Amino acid sequence: MHPSLGSSGGLLRARLSSAFDEGLYRTEAARSNADLIPRPLAIALRMPPALPTARDRWGYVERLTREIEQVARLFDRDRDVLALHFDGAAGLAPQWREVEALIGSLERHFHFAPATRRLFSIRIDPGMARAADFDTCASLGFHCVDIEATGGDLAAIVRAIDLARGTGTLAVCVEWPVERQGVPQALLATRPDRLGCLLPDASADPGSLRPIADALVASGYAGIGLDPRPLPWVDPAGPPLLNGIARDGRWRRPEPNVDVIGIGAGALSRVRDSVSQNHADLGAWETALDAAGLPVWRGLLLAAEDRLRMDVAGELLRTGEIGVAGVEQRFAIDFHEHFGEELQALAALPGGLVEQGPNGPRATSQGRLMLRIMAACFDMPGQRPPQ
Protein backbone atom coordinates (compact mmCIF):
# COMPACT_ATOMS: atom_id res chain seq x y z
CA MET A 1 0.00 0.00 0.00
CA HIS A 2 0.14 0.20 1.19
CA PRO A 3 -0.17 -0.34 4.81
CA SER A 4 -3.12 -2.66 4.34
CA LEU A 5 -3.75 -5.50 6.74
CA GLY A 6 -4.31 -7.60 3.63
CA SER A 7 -7.39 -9.28 2.27
CA SER A 8 -7.89 -11.44 5.36
CA GLY A 9 -7.26 -8.94 8.14
CA GLY A 10 -8.75 -11.24 10.76
CA LEU A 11 -5.90 -13.70 10.14
CA LEU A 12 -3.30 -11.00 10.70
CA ARG A 13 -5.08 -9.81 13.83
CA ALA A 14 -4.86 -13.34 15.20
CA ARG A 15 -1.06 -12.99 15.06
CA LEU A 16 -0.99 -9.90 17.29
CA SER A 17 0.92 -10.68 20.48
CA SER A 18 1.32 -9.09 23.90
CA ALA A 19 5.08 -9.43 23.34
CA PHE A 20 4.69 -6.23 21.31
CA ASP A 21 4.64 -3.54 23.97
CA GLU A 22 4.82 0.22 24.46
CA GLY A 23 8.61 0.19 23.96
CA LEU A 24 8.29 -1.37 20.51
CA TYR A 25 5.57 1.12 19.57
CA ARG A 26 7.89 3.98 20.54
CA THR A 27 10.74 2.42 18.56
CA GLU A 28 8.63 2.13 15.42
CA ALA A 29 7.46 5.74 15.77
CA ALA A 30 11.10 6.87 16.03
CA ARG A 31 12.06 4.81 12.97
CA SER A 32 9.15 6.33 11.07
CA ASN A 33 10.30 9.85 11.94
CA ALA A 34 13.80 8.96 10.74
CA ASP A 35 12.67 7.96 7.24
CA LEU A 36 14.12 10.13 4.48
CA ILE A 37 10.59 11.28 3.62
CA PRO A 38 8.37 10.47 6.63
CA ARG A 39 4.85 9.43 5.80
CA PRO A 40 1.93 11.70 6.65
CA LEU A 41 -0.47 10.63 9.37
CA ALA A 42 -4.06 9.45 9.70
CA ILE A 43 -5.81 9.43 13.07
CA ALA A 44 -8.69 7.09 13.97
CA LEU A 45 -10.29 8.13 17.26
CA ARG A 46 -12.79 5.95 19.11
CA MET A 47 -15.35 8.11 20.88
CA PRO A 48 -16.73 7.31 24.35
CA PRO A 49 -18.89 4.18 24.52
CA ALA A 50 -22.15 3.97 26.45
CA LEU A 51 -21.07 4.73 30.03
CA PRO A 52 -23.24 4.91 33.17
CA THR A 53 -22.94 8.63 33.89
CA ALA A 54 -21.92 11.87 32.21
CA ARG A 55 -19.02 12.01 34.66
CA ASP A 56 -17.75 8.62 33.46
CA ARG A 57 -18.08 9.79 29.88
CA TRP A 58 -16.13 12.95 30.51
CA GLY A 59 -13.48 10.89 32.31
CA TYR A 60 -13.06 8.87 29.10
CA VAL A 61 -12.70 12.08 27.09
CA GLU A 62 -10.10 13.44 29.52
CA ARG A 63 -8.09 10.25 29.13
CA LEU A 64 -8.41 10.51 25.36
CA THR A 65 -6.83 13.98 25.50
CA ARG A 66 -4.06 12.52 27.66
CA GLU A 67 -3.46 9.77 25.11
CA ILE A 68 -3.43 12.33 22.29
CA GLU A 69 -0.77 14.35 24.09
CA GLN A 70 1.42 11.33 24.86
CA VAL A 71 1.20 9.82 21.39
CA ALA A 72 1.80 13.16 19.65
CA ARG A 73 5.17 13.49 21.42
CA LEU A 74 6.37 10.47 19.44
CA PHE A 75 5.79 12.01 16.00
CA ASP A 76 7.58 14.98 14.48
CA ARG A 77 5.44 18.09 14.37
CA ASP A 78 6.00 18.60 10.62
CA ARG A 79 4.18 15.39 9.71
CA ASP A 80 0.81 16.42 8.31
CA VAL A 81 -2.42 14.75 9.42
CA LEU A 82 -4.26 13.97 6.17
CA ALA A 83 -7.18 11.99 7.56
CA LEU A 84 -9.12 12.05 10.81
CA HIS A 85 -12.05 9.81 11.67
CA PHE A 86 -14.23 10.06 14.78
CA ASP A 87 -15.94 6.72 15.39
CA GLY A 88 -19.01 7.50 17.48
CA ALA A 89 -20.70 4.82 19.55
CA ALA A 90 -23.90 3.37 18.05
CA GLY A 91 -27.08 4.42 19.79
CA LEU A 92 -25.59 7.57 21.28
CA ALA A 93 -26.23 11.15 20.24
CA PRO A 94 -23.10 13.18 19.39
CA GLN A 95 -21.81 15.19 22.34
CA TRP A 96 -20.33 18.19 20.60
CA ARG A 97 -18.63 19.56 23.71
CA GLU A 98 -16.58 16.36 23.75
CA VAL A 99 -15.84 16.50 20.02
CA GLU A 100 -14.74 20.14 20.24
CA ALA A 101 -12.47 19.34 23.18
CA LEU A 102 -10.85 16.47 21.29
CA ILE A 103 -10.37 18.44 18.08
CA GLY A 104 -8.82 21.23 20.14
CA SER A 105 -6.41 18.76 21.71
CA LEU A 106 -5.52 17.27 18.32
CA GLU A 107 -4.89 20.74 16.86
CA ARG A 108 -2.58 21.63 19.74
CA HIS A 109 -0.49 18.49 19.43
CA PHE A 110 -0.57 17.57 15.73
CA HIS A 111 -0.24 19.54 12.51
CA PHE A 112 -3.31 19.29 10.27
CA ALA A 113 -2.81 19.49 6.51
CA PRO A 114 -4.62 22.32 4.69
CA ALA A 115 -8.35 21.72 4.27
CA THR A 116 -7.92 21.05 0.54
CA ARG A 117 -5.63 18.06 1.26
CA ARG A 118 -7.28 16.42 4.23
CA LEU A 119 -10.40 14.34 4.90
CA PHE A 120 -12.17 14.60 8.26
CA SER A 121 -15.08 12.23 8.84
CA ILE A 122 -17.39 11.29 11.71
CA ARG A 123 -19.79 8.41 12.23
CA ILE A 124 -23.30 9.33 13.36
CA ASP A 125 -26.24 7.16 14.40
CA PRO A 126 -29.16 8.32 12.18
CA GLY A 127 -31.73 7.64 14.86
CA MET A 128 -30.00 10.13 17.17
CA ALA A 129 -29.21 12.81 14.57
CA ARG A 130 -30.67 16.31 14.66
CA ALA A 131 -30.48 19.01 12.01
CA ALA A 132 -28.15 21.09 14.19
CA ASP A 133 -25.70 18.16 14.40
CA PHE A 134 -24.81 18.42 10.72
CA ASP A 135 -24.37 22.18 10.88
CA THR A 136 -21.99 21.60 13.80
CA CYS A 137 -20.13 18.94 11.80
CA ALA A 138 -19.53 21.41 9.00
CA SER A 139 -18.48 24.20 11.39
CA LEU A 140 -15.92 21.89 13.03
CA GLY A 141 -14.32 21.09 9.67
CA PHE A 142 -15.75 17.65 8.92
CA HIS A 143 -15.92 16.92 5.19
CA CYS A 144 -17.85 13.69 5.49
CA VAL A 145 -20.46 12.06 7.72
CA ASP A 146 -20.79 8.29 7.89
CA ILE A 147 -24.43 7.42 8.49
CA GLU A 148 -24.55 4.31 10.68
CA ALA A 149 -27.03 2.02 8.92
CA THR A 150 -26.62 -1.24 10.79
CA GLY A 151 -29.87 -0.62 12.71
CA GLY A 152 -31.77 -0.90 9.45
CA ASP A 153 -34.19 1.98 10.13
CA LEU A 154 -34.51 3.17 6.53
CA ALA A 155 -36.74 6.15 7.36
CA ALA A 156 -34.21 7.41 9.93
CA ILE A 157 -31.35 6.93 7.47
CA VAL A 158 -33.12 8.83 4.67
CA ARG A 159 -34.02 11.61 7.11
CA ALA A 160 -30.41 11.87 8.30
CA ILE A 161 -29.13 12.02 4.71
CA ASP A 162 -31.60 14.82 3.92
CA LEU A 163 -30.49 16.74 7.02
CA ALA A 164 -26.84 16.35 6.11
CA ARG A 165 -27.52 17.50 2.56
CA GLY A 166 -29.12 20.62 4.00
CA THR A 167 -25.73 21.83 5.21
CA GLY A 168 -24.54 21.98 1.59
CA THR A 169 -20.97 21.15 2.57
CA LEU A 170 -20.84 17.53 3.70
CA ALA A 171 -20.27 14.36 1.73
CA VAL A 172 -22.49 11.54 2.97
CA CYS A 173 -21.42 7.91 3.25
CA VAL A 174 -23.73 5.00 4.08
CA GLU A 175 -23.08 1.30 4.61
CA TRP A 176 -26.25 -0.73 4.14
CA PRO A 177 -26.61 -4.45 5.10
CA VAL A 178 -28.07 -5.83 1.87
CA GLU A 179 -28.91 -9.26 3.25
CA ARG A 180 -32.12 -7.78 4.66
CA GLN A 181 -33.83 -6.59 1.49
CA GLY A 182 -31.30 -5.69 -1.17
CA VAL A 183 -30.62 -2.00 -1.65
CA PRO A 184 -33.90 -0.09 -1.22
CA GLN A 185 -34.83 2.30 -3.98
CA ALA A 186 -35.57 4.95 -1.35
CA LEU A 187 -31.92 4.77 -0.26
CA LEU A 188 -30.58 4.81 -3.82
CA ALA A 189 -32.73 7.84 -4.56
CA THR A 190 -30.93 9.86 -1.87
CA ARG A 191 -27.62 9.25 -3.73
CA PRO A 192 -25.13 9.10 -0.86
CA ASP A 193 -21.70 10.18 -2.10
CA ARG A 194 -20.36 6.77 -1.12
CA LEU A 195 -22.66 3.79 -0.73
CA GLY A 196 -21.23 0.60 0.70
CA CYS A 197 -23.31 -2.56 0.57
CA LEU A 198 -22.44 -4.87 3.46
CA LEU A 199 -22.70 -8.44 2.22
CA PRO A 200 -23.13 -11.76 4.02
CA ASP A 201 -19.73 -13.39 4.60
CA ALA A 202 -20.73 -16.21 2.26
CA SER A 203 -21.26 -13.88 -0.71
CA ALA A 204 -18.62 -15.03 -3.16
CA ASP A 205 -20.65 -15.69 -6.27
CA PRO A 206 -20.39 -12.83 -8.80
CA GLY A 207 -23.80 -13.83 -10.10
CA SER A 208 -25.38 -12.93 -6.75
CA LEU A 209 -23.48 -9.62 -6.63
CA ARG A 210 -24.26 -8.54 -10.19
CA PRO A 211 -27.85 -7.35 -9.47
CA ILE A 212 -26.53 -5.14 -6.65
CA ALA A 213 -23.78 -3.73 -8.86
CA ASP A 214 -26.28 -3.13 -11.68
CA ALA A 215 -28.58 -1.25 -9.28
CA LEU A 216 -25.66 0.98 -8.25
CA VAL A 217 -24.72 1.67 -11.87
CA ALA A 218 -28.33 2.49 -12.77
CA SER A 219 -28.39 5.01 -9.92
CA GLY A 220 -25.30 6.83 -11.16
CA TYR A 221 -22.56 5.13 -9.16
CA ALA A 222 -19.10 4.37 -10.50
CA GLY A 223 -15.87 2.91 -9.10
CA ILE A 224 -17.83 -0.17 -8.06
CA GLY A 225 -15.85 -2.98 -6.53
CA LEU A 226 -15.53 -5.33 -3.59
CA ASP A 227 -13.66 -3.94 -0.58
CA PRO A 228 -11.97 -0.88 -2.16
CA ARG A 229 -11.94 0.79 1.27
CA PRO A 230 -10.06 4.08 1.48
CA LEU A 231 -8.52 3.12 4.83
CA PRO A 232 -8.82 -0.67 4.98
CA TRP A 233 -5.89 -0.96 7.38
CA VAL A 234 -7.77 0.77 10.19
CA ASP A 235 -10.04 -2.24 10.64
CA PRO A 236 -10.30 -4.66 7.72
CA ALA A 237 -12.31 -7.29 9.55
CA GLY A 238 -16.01 -7.78 8.99
CA PRO A 239 -18.23 -8.71 6.08
CA PRO A 240 -17.36 -7.90 2.47
CA LEU A 241 -18.32 -4.45 1.26
CA LEU A 242 -19.47 -3.73 -2.29
CA ASN A 243 -18.66 -0.06 -2.72
CA GLY A 244 -19.93 2.62 -5.12
CA ILE A 245 -18.97 6.28 -5.56
CA ALA A 246 -21.53 8.77 -6.92
CA ARG A 247 -20.22 10.31 -10.14
CA ASP A 248 -21.10 13.79 -8.98
CA GLY A 249 -20.26 13.10 -5.34
CA ARG A 250 -17.83 15.01 -3.18
CA TRP A 251 -16.08 11.98 -1.73
CA ARG A 252 -12.31 12.37 -1.53
CA ARG A 253 -10.02 9.43 -0.97
CA PRO A 254 -7.17 10.10 1.44
CA GLU A 255 -3.63 9.23 0.47
CA PRO A 256 -3.14 5.54 1.29
CA ASN A 257 0.57 5.61 2.21
CA VAL A 258 0.30 6.95 5.75
CA ASP A 259 1.01 5.95 9.34
CA VAL A 260 -2.27 5.29 11.14
CA ILE A 261 -2.56 6.33 14.79
CA GLY A 262 -5.43 4.70 16.65
CA ILE A 263 -6.59 6.53 19.79
CA GLY A 264 -9.06 5.15 22.32
CA ALA A 265 -9.95 1.78 23.83
CA GLY A 266 -9.45 -1.02 21.29
CA ALA A 267 -8.10 1.29 18.55
CA LEU A 268 -5.78 -0.15 15.89
CA SER A 269 -2.58 1.51 14.68
CA ARG A 270 -0.20 0.91 11.78
CA VAL A 271 3.11 2.70 12.40
CA ARG A 272 5.95 2.03 9.96
CA ASP A 273 6.56 -1.74 10.13
CA SER A 274 4.16 -2.56 12.96
CA VAL A 275 0.49 -3.20 13.57
CA SER A 276 -0.75 -2.73 17.13
CA GLN A 277 -3.93 -2.47 19.15
CA ASN A 278 -4.82 -0.58 22.32
CA HIS A 279 -6.37 -2.37 25.27
CA ALA A 280 -9.94 -3.18 24.34
CA ASP A 281 -10.90 -3.60 27.99
CA LEU A 282 -11.88 -0.15 29.24
CA GLY A 283 -10.39 -0.69 32.69
CA ALA A 284 -7.00 -1.80 31.33
CA TRP A 285 -6.95 1.13 28.91
CA GLU A 286 -7.69 3.58 31.72
CA THR A 287 -5.09 2.02 34.03
CA ALA A 288 -2.34 2.34 31.41
CA LEU A 289 -3.09 6.03 30.86
CA ASP A 290 -3.43 6.76 34.57
CA ALA A 291 0.09 5.33 34.99
CA ALA A 292 1.35 7.83 32.36
CA GLY A 293 1.94 5.05 29.86
CA LEU A 294 0.63 4.25 26.41
CA PRO A 295 -2.31 1.80 26.38
CA VAL A 296 -0.66 -0.64 23.92
CA TRP A 297 -2.11 -4.11 24.43
CA ARG A 298 -0.66 -6.23 21.63
CA GLY A 299 0.93 -5.95 18.22
CA LEU A 300 3.15 -7.39 15.54
CA LEU A 301 6.39 -6.40 13.85
CA LEU A 302 5.89 -7.01 10.15
CA ALA A 303 8.52 -9.00 8.29
CA ALA A 304 9.63 -7.87 4.83
CA GLU A 305 7.43 -10.55 3.26
CA ASP A 306 4.42 -9.35 5.28
CA ARG A 307 4.93 -5.82 4.02
CA LEU A 308 5.37 -6.94 0.42
CA ARG A 309 2.23 -9.07 0.39
CA MET A 310 0.18 -6.43 2.20
CA ASP A 311 1.32 -3.85 -0.33
CA VAL A 312 0.26 -6.03 -3.27
CA ALA A 313 -3.04 -7.19 -1.75
CA GLY A 314 -3.87 -3.67 -0.59
CA GLU A 315 -3.21 -2.16 -4.03
CA LEU A 316 -5.42 -4.78 -5.65
CA LEU A 317 -8.26 -4.15 -3.19
CA ARG A 318 -7.95 -0.39 -3.52
CA THR A 319 -7.50 0.02 -7.27
CA GLY A 320 -8.48 -3.28 -8.86
CA GLU A 321 -5.03 -3.82 -10.37
CA ILE A 322 -1.37 -4.32 -9.47
CA GLY A 323 1.30 -1.97 -10.75
CA VAL A 324 4.09 -4.51 -11.20
CA ALA A 325 6.86 -2.00 -11.95
CA GLY A 326 6.04 0.00 -8.82
CA VAL A 327 6.10 -3.09 -6.61
CA GLU A 328 9.44 -4.17 -8.09
CA GLN A 329 10.90 -0.74 -7.47
CA ARG A 330 9.63 -0.47 -3.87
CA PHE A 331 10.75 -3.96 -2.83
CA ALA A 332 13.67 -4.75 -5.17
CA ILE A 333 12.16 -8.02 -6.45
CA ASP A 334 11.35 -9.65 -9.74
CA PHE A 335 7.57 -9.73 -9.44
CA HIS A 336 6.91 -12.67 -11.76
CA GLU A 337 9.65 -14.75 -10.16
CA HIS A 338 8.60 -13.94 -6.59
CA PHE A 339 4.87 -14.43 -7.18
CA GLY A 340 4.92 -17.24 -9.75
CA GLU A 341 2.54 -19.48 -7.75
CA GLU A 342 0.25 -16.56 -6.93
CA LEU A 343 -0.01 -15.56 -10.58
CA GLN A 344 -0.89 -19.15 -11.43
CA ALA A 345 -3.61 -19.04 -8.77
CA LEU A 346 -4.98 -15.83 -10.30
CA ALA A 347 -4.97 -17.41 -13.75
CA ALA A 348 -6.86 -20.44 -12.37
CA LEU A 349 -9.78 -18.30 -11.16
CA PRO A 350 -13.01 -18.59 -13.18
CA GLY A 351 -12.81 -16.97 -16.60
CA GLY A 352 -13.60 -13.32 -17.05
CA LEU A 353 -12.36 -12.15 -13.62
CA VAL A 354 -8.80 -11.04 -14.36
CA GLU A 355 -6.94 -9.76 -17.41
CA GLN A 356 -3.48 -8.46 -18.19
CA GLY A 357 -3.55 -4.67 -18.11
CA PRO A 358 -0.78 -2.28 -19.21
CA ASN A 359 0.72 -2.23 -15.70
CA GLY A 360 0.04 -5.78 -14.57
CA PRO A 361 -2.84 -8.06 -13.52
CA ARG A 362 -6.14 -6.19 -13.55
CA ALA A 363 -9.66 -7.12 -12.49
CA THR A 364 -12.32 -6.98 -15.15
CA SER A 365 -15.66 -5.33 -14.36
CA GLN A 366 -16.88 -8.72 -13.16
CA GLY A 367 -13.62 -9.36 -11.33
CA ARG A 368 -14.09 -6.19 -9.28
CA LEU A 369 -16.93 -8.03 -7.58
CA MET A 370 -14.42 -10.69 -6.50
CA LEU A 371 -11.49 -8.57 -5.34
CA ARG A 372 -11.34 -10.20 -1.92
CA ILE A 373 -10.81 -13.65 -3.45
CA MET A 374 -8.27 -12.27 -5.91
CA ALA A 375 -6.35 -10.49 -3.16
CA ALA A 376 -6.39 -13.65 -1.02
CA CYS A 377 -4.04 -15.23 -3.59
CA PHE A 378 -1.32 -12.97 -2.15
CA ASP A 379 -1.88 -13.79 1.53
CA MET A 380 0.93 -15.62 3.27
CA PRO A 381 1.00 -19.34 2.40
CA GLY A 382 -0.69 -21.25 5.21
CA GLN A 383 -2.76 -18.20 6.20
CA ARG A 384 -5.05 -18.00 3.20
CA PRO A 385 -8.76 -18.25 3.84
CA PRO A 386 -10.70 -21.12 2.25
CA GLN A 387 -11.81 -20.32 -1.29
Q: Where are the domains of the chain?
A: 9-301, 304-376
Q: Are 106 and 330 in contact (CB under 8 A)?
A: no
Encode pLDDT of 249-274 as tens digits.
666 666 668 899 999 999 999 999 99
| Residues linked to residue 276 through DSSP beta bridges, in sequence order | 269, 299
Alpha-carbon distance of 89 to 150, in angstroms, equals 12
The secondary structure of 214-271 as a DSSP string is: HHHHHTTEEEEEES--SSTTT---SS-EEEEEETT----PPPSS-EEEEESTT-EEEE
DSSP 81: E
* Rounded alpha-carbon distances, angstroms, from residue 150 to 80, 88, 126, 132: 33, 13, 10, 23
Residues with Cβ within 8 Å of 385's Cβ and at least 6 positions away in sequence, in order, are: 7, 8, 11, 376, 379
pLDDT digits (tens, 9 = 90+) for 9-34: 455 667 889 999 999 999 999 999 99
3-class SS of residue 123: strand
CA nearest to 74, candidates 331, 235, 306, 276: 276
CATH number of 304-376: 1.10.10.920
Q: Give the residues of the chain that fall short of pLDDT 70.
A: 1-13, 150-152, 179-181, 201-207, 227-239, 249-256, 381-387
Phi-psi sector, 180: left (phi>0), alpha (psi -120 to 50), beta: alpha
Task: State which amino acid sits at residue 83.
Answer: A
CA 142 to chain centre: 16
Distance, CA of 232 to CA of 227 (rounded, Å): 8
Predicted pLDDT of residue 7: 40
pLDDT of residue 77: 93
Does residue 44 contact residue 265 with C-beta atoms inside 8 Å? Answer: no
Angstrom distance (rounded) from CA 313 to CA 73:
32
